[in-house]
Amino acid sequence: MNKEETNAFQIIENVGGLDNIARLTHCATRLRFVLKDKSKFNLDTIKKLPDVIEAVQSGEESQVVIGGKVVTYYKLISKQLSHTNETENIQESAKQNWLKKLVNDLVNIMAPLITAFIAGGLFKAIISILATFKVLSTTSQNYIVLNAIADAVFYFLPFLLAVSAARKFKTNEYIAMIIAGVLLYPSITQLANIGKPVFFLGLPLQLVNYSSSVLPILLAIWFMSFIDKFLEKFIPNSIKTTLKPLLLLAITAPITLLIIGPIGSWLGDGFYFVIKAINTYAPWFVPTIIGAFAPLLVMIGMHMALMPLAALQFAQFKKETIIGPGFLVANMVESGVAFAAALRLKKNEKNSQIAFSSGITALTGIIEPTLYGITLKYKRTLYCAIAAGGLAGLYAGITQIYSSALSPQSILTLPLFITSNPNNFVNAIITVLIAFVLGFIFTYFFAEINPSSNSNDDQHSKISSNSNVTAGNDDAIVAPVTGDLEDLSEVKDDIFSKKTLGDGVAIKLNDDIIASPANGSISSLFPTGHAFGITTNEGVEILVHIGIDTVNLKGKGFKILAHQNDRVKAGDPIVNIDRQYIEKQGYDLTTMLIITNPNNKKIKLKTTGKVNTGDKLN
C-alpha cells in the first residue's frame, strides 16, 4: 500500500467508513462526500492527514480539500465503494431550508463538470492566442474545426448537465441524455426558421434555442426523476425492463418540449434582464463583491454555486462576467499574498518554500493551499486579501472586462479575455497586476506573519527501543504486541476479514505498547494514533491497525511515541495505548498486521498461538 492508498483508507475511516458514504463526487480540488451521518465526519483529524489541505462541512456536503491529487484520491476511494453504497438514498432533514437544498443540489450537479469547463476554456484560450498572433486565421478551415472543439463543451452543455443531474436526482442517465438530444435535435430547431406556428399533438410548440442552456434540462431531469419513481413503483417487475424506459421517454420528452423547456427558457430570460440591468447601471458591483469575498466562498465550498448563474449568463450573452473577472482577481490576490508571505518567512526556509509553491499554484487557479496555509492562518491576512480583491474587482467592473468562455480563471486562461474589443484584454492584464500587487503589498506590510516555525519537526526525539526485543534481520516480521494470534477471517470488520487491504494476521493484545513489526521507516502515522504504516528496508509495506473503529475515539486513549519518517527497528515502540479506557468505551482492541504491499516477496505469517512483542512471525 503506497502513501496515497494509506491516506485514502484513513479518509474513509474518518468519514465514518464505507457504509456511511451515501455519495462521493469531486471538483478540481476537493472530495465532496454526502454522508448518512454527518456527525461521523472527524473534521479535526482529517485536517491533519497527509495531502489534506483542509476539511469543511458545507450544507449537506462534507468536503476534503486535496488540491492537485484529488482525482487520485477519488479513484482510490471510489474503488472501495460498493455499488450498493453508491446508490443508497440518505434521509434528508424535513426541516432543511429549501433554498439551502437548492444551492446544494446545484453545487453537486455543477461540480463534476468543472474539468470539462477547464478543458474547453483552456482550448479556447490557446486558439485565441494563435489567432491574436496571426498563427491561425479566423477564416481558415483549421480555425473553424478547432473552434468547434473548444465550443462543443458549451454548445452541448445540456448533455453534460443531463448526466450530472440524473446522478443527483437518481434517475436513468441514458434517458436523460436522450432528453437533452431532443432539445438540441436539428430538425426541431430548424422548424423555428419556417416562420409559421408549430404544433405538436395539437398544442402550440414554442421553439427555443436550447444550446448552452441550463435551466430547461435541469427542470426536465428533475421532473423525470419523479416519473421514474412512479413507474418503478407501479410497473410489474415482469415487464419493467422494457416498459419503464419506454414510458419514461414517452412522458418526459413531450412534456419537456411543450411545458418544461419553455418555462426554463422564460426563467432564463428573467435572469437575462436582471444581469442586463446590473451591467447597465452598476457594472462594478458583481466583480467587486466576488473579487473581495471569493476566498470566503471557497472556504465554505460554495463557490461552485455561482457556476449555474455564470452558465445562464453565457447562454444569453455569449460572454461571462460573474466568475471570470471576480475569480481572476481572487486568484491573483491569493498569489500575491503567498509570495509576500514567502518573503516574510525567508528566515524559515521550509515554510517560505511552501508559501512560494502556493503562490505558483494560485497563479494556475488553485487557491486552497494559499487560502488555508496562509490567508486563514496568519492574523489580518484575510482582511488584506479582501481589501485587495475588492479594489481590483472594482477596476474590473468599472472597465467591464468579460471572459469569452465559461471557465475557471487563472493566468493560463487570460487569453479568454482576448475579444474583438482590444481594451478588454488590456484591462484584464491591468486587473491582474492590480490584484497581485495589492495582495502582495497589503500582506507584506499589514499582515502578522510570524517567521518562526510552528512545526515540531525539529523537536522529534529518538525513539527509545524496547530492550527486551531482538530486531532480527531486515526480512524478519515480528509481533508488534504481546497477545494471542488470530486469523484475519475471524476479525469483525469486513475490510480486514475479507483481506481488502492485504493478507496478514490479527492479535488479541494484552499489552499497552504497540511496536514496529520490522526494520525500516514509519511511512505513515495516523494523527489519532490508532494505526501506522512501516516500509521495511526490503520495500515491504506493512499496516498496523490498533482496534476496530477506534478512529472514532479521535486520539483519546492513544499516545504516539514516534514520528512519521522516523527510522525504526523491529520492536521499537510506536504507540502507547490506555487499554482500560478504550475497552471501557466499548471498542474491540484486536490489532491487525496487514501486508499491504509484499514487494513481490512470498510472505507467510503465523496465525495461531501466543506471541510476545518481537517474536518472529514469518
Report the CATH number at residue 499.
2.70.70.10
Show the cell assigned to 197. Answer: 406556428
**Is residue 27 predicted with pLDDT exceeding 80?**
no
333 and 277, same domain (yes or no): no
Nearest to 385 by CA among 291, 470, 465, 298: 291
Residue 465 has a pLDDT of 43
Nearest to 85 by CA among 52, 40, 36: 36
The kind and range of the H/E element at 98 are: helix 98-110
Bridge partner residues of 522 (DSSP): 534
pLDDT band per the 50, 70, 90 thresholds, residue 99? low
332 and 378, same domain (yes or no): yes
Which region among 281-295, 296-310, 421-435, 501-515 has the lowest average model confidence (pLDDT)? 296-310
Mean pLDDT of 17-43: 86
Of the three residues 248, 281, 314, the one that is the final residue of a domain is 281
Q: How many domains does the chain have?
A: 4
Q: How many CB atoms neighbour CB 13 within 10 A?
A: 24
**Residues 543/437, Cβ–Cβ less than 8 Å:** no
Which region among 364-368, 506-510, 516-520, 544-548 has the lowest average model confidence (pLDDT)? 364-368
Residue 451 has a pLDDT of 64
Q: Hey, CA dihedral for 118, 119, 124, 129, is it positive or negative? A: positive
201 and 248, same domain (yes or no): yes
Mean pLDDT of 466-479: 67
Could you tell me if residue 304 is inside a domain?
no
For the chain, what is the mean pLDDT?
86
501 and 600, same domain (yes or no): yes
Residue 141 has a pLDDT of 93
Residue 201 has a pLDDT of 84
Residues with Cβ within 8 Å of residue 130, at least 6 apart in sequence: 136
Residue 386 has a pLDDT of 96
pLDDT band per the 50, 70, 90 thresholds, residue 460? very low
255 and 189, same domain (yes or no): yes
Is 27 assigned a catalytic role?
Answer: yes
Tens digits of per-residue pLDDT, 213-231?
889 999 999 999 999 999 9
**Is residue 458 predicted with pLDDT exceeding 80?**
no
Q: Looking at the chain, how many residues does it have?
A: 618
276 and 328, same domain (yes or no): no
pTM: 0.65
**Is residue 536 predicted with pLDDT exceeding 70?**
yes
Tens digits of per-residue pLDDT, 553-592?
888 999 999 888 888 999 999 999 999 999 999 999 999 9
Nearest to 504 by CA among 474, 534, 463, 527: 534
**Residues 480/593, Cβ–Cβ less than 8 Å:** yes
Of the three residues 229, 259, 281, the one that is the final residue of a domain is 281
Could you tell me if residue 99 is inside a domain?
no
Helix (H, G, I), strand (E, B) or coil at 542: strand
pLDDT band per the 50, 70, 90 thresholds, residue 455? very low
Mean pLDDT of 63-79: 85
Could you tell me if residue 124 is inside a domain?
no
The helix/strand count (H/E) of the chain reads as 22, 17
Could you tell me if residue 104 is inside a domain?
no
Could you tell me if residue 52 is inside a domain?
yes
> Whose grid coordinates read 414510458?
247
Nearest to 9 by CA among 582, 524, 615: 524
> How far is the C-alpha of 489 from the C-alpha of 498, rounded, in Å?
7
Bridge partner residues of 55 (DSSP): 64
Of the three residues 387, 417, 446, the one that is the final residue of a domain is 446
Which region among 86-100, 196-210, 392-406, 563-577 has the lowest average model confidence (pLDDT)? 86-100
Nearest to 518 by CA among 558, 469, 557, 485: 469
336 and 442, same domain (yes or no): yes
Residue 212 has a pLDDT of 84
Q: Give 519 or 278, the one with higher predicted confidence.
A: 519
186 and 260, same domain (yes or no): yes
Question: Which of these is catalytic: 11, 15, 18, 27?
Answer: 27
> How far is the C-alpha of 568 from the C-alpha of 480, rounded, in Å?
13
Bridge partner residues of 511 (DSSP): none
Could you tell me if residue 600 is left (phi over 0), alpha (psi between -120 and 50 degrees) or otherwise beta? left
Rounded to 5 degrees, what angle do the CA atoms 171, 176, 179 make?
145
Could you tell me if residue 343 is inside a domain?
yes
Residues with Cβ within 8 Å of residue 156, at least 6 apart in sequence: 180, 184, 211
- For residue 35, report the phi and psi dihedrals to the nearest 5 degrees: -105, 145
What CATH number should be reported for the domain holding residue 22? 3.30.1360.60
**Residue 62 DSSP label:** E
**Residue 464 DSSP label:** P
> How, if at all, do strands 503-509 and 513-515 pair?
unpaired
Which region among 239-248, 315-324, 450-459 has the lowest average model confidence (pLDDT)? 450-459
492 and 604, same domain (yes or no): yes
Amino acid 296 reads L
What is the residue range of 15's domain? 3-89
Q: Give 436 or 199, the one with higher predicted confidence.
A: 436
> How far is the C-alpha of 422 from the C-alpha of 496, rounded, in Å?
63
Percentage with pLDDT > 70 across the chain: 92
Tens digits of per-residue pLDDT, 149-203?
988 988 999 999 999 999 989 899 999 999 999 999 988 777 766 667 788 888 8
Could you tell me if residue 267 is inside a domain?
yes
pLDDT band per the 50, 70, 90 thresholds, residue 45? confident
Could you tell me if residue 473 is inside a domain?
no
277 and 204, same domain (yes or no): yes
**Residues 518/570, Cβ–Cβ less than 8 Å:** yes
Crossing angle of helices 141-155 and 157-169, rounded to 10°: 20
431 and 503, same domain (yes or no): no
In terms of DSSP H, where are the helices of 300-373? 307-317, 324-344, 349-363, 368-370
Helix (H, G, I), strand (E, B) or coil at 476: coil
Mean pLDDT of 533-561: 91
Which region among 62-66, 264-268, 347-351, 410-414 has the lowest average model confidence (pLDDT)? 347-351
**Residues 184/156, Cβ–Cβ less than 8 Å:** yes
- For residue 80, report the phi and psi dihedrals to the nearest 5 degrees: -80, -20
**Residues 254/201, Cβ–Cβ less than 8 Å:** yes
Nearest to 399 by CA among 336, 321, 330, 327: 321
523 and 602, same domain (yes or no): yes
